[in-house]
Amino acid sequence: EPEVTQTPSHQVTQMGQEVILRCVPISNHLYFYWYRQILGQKVEFLVSFYNNEISEKSEIFDDQFSVERPDGSNFTLKIRSTKLEDSAMYFCASRRTLGYGYTFGSGTRLTVV
Amino acid sequence: DAKTTQPTSMDCAEGRAANLPCNHSTISGNEYVYWYRQIHSQGPQYIIHGLKNNETNEMASLIITEDRKSSTLILPHATLRDTAVYYCIVRDPETQGGSEKLVFGKGTKLTVNP
């Protein structure tokens, strides 16, 4: 069964550093998403991406965050200057088209120290 | 946002059917009901979705009431591996551009006991 692949599975970074979280969505999917989950809290929407542009973003997704689909297969989330409160599990997801279920990746645990 | 209400937790014996209820009384006409689950800290896993008819797939069945104000997810023969948090989600009606973001609540923590 096709999978959404995320790397790395765990990343530790110092506060103020830039991090890039990587995702390879399922190949024939058209809609891409990032969600995050702070330990013990709900899964929160960050951003959706379609047709090479952001289609929606949440209040969490401020100027420190950016997404890119550089080569037609990878989908990345960049945090420019990490803060302690950015520590969370970050999940990438994709879906073929509207009305279909999402496929989530297994997540990247980001720890900011 | 259309909101959903789910019990905080439920228990089920292994091999028995698990019936997980969800209320979504403010659902509007074109919104789908989606069910996902999250096993420990893994990524959420899609289970099933429906609009108004009952649906069944290899994982579960979804029963939606005629007025669409509630639904029940049925796992017909629960196993220990079905222990997870189950989320009932209604498509966000304020979505712009058709991205259909998912708004997760706290879900139901289902524990399947041996």
Partner residue opposite A48 with nearest CB, options B34, B41, B101: B101
Mind listing the pLDDT tens digit for each residue in A100-111?
788 999 999 999
- Decide: B88 and B6 in contact? Cβ < 8 Å: yes
CB < 8 Å from B in window 15-54 of A: 31, 33, 35, 37, 42-45, 48, 50
Mind listing the pLDDT tens digit for each residue in A69-89?
988 789 999 999 999 999 999
Contacts of A56 in chain B (CB under 8 A): 95-97, 99, 101
Partner residue opposite B34 with nearest CB, options A101, A105, A109: A101
Does residue B110 carry a pLDDT above 50?
yes
Beta strands at B70-75 and B18-23: parallel, antiparallel or unpaired: antiparallel
Tell me what the pLDDT averaged over chain A comes to. Answer: 94
Residue B86 corresponds to which tokens in the numbers above?
């189950």
Partner residue opposite A91 with nearest CB, options B43, B87, B99: B43
Contacts of B50 in chain A (CB under 8 A): none
- What is the pLDDT confidence band of residue B93, given thresholds at 50, 70 and 90? very low
Does residue B95 carry a pLDDT above 80?
no
Does residue B15 carry a pLDDT above 50?
yes
pLDDT given for residue A82 in this prediction = 97
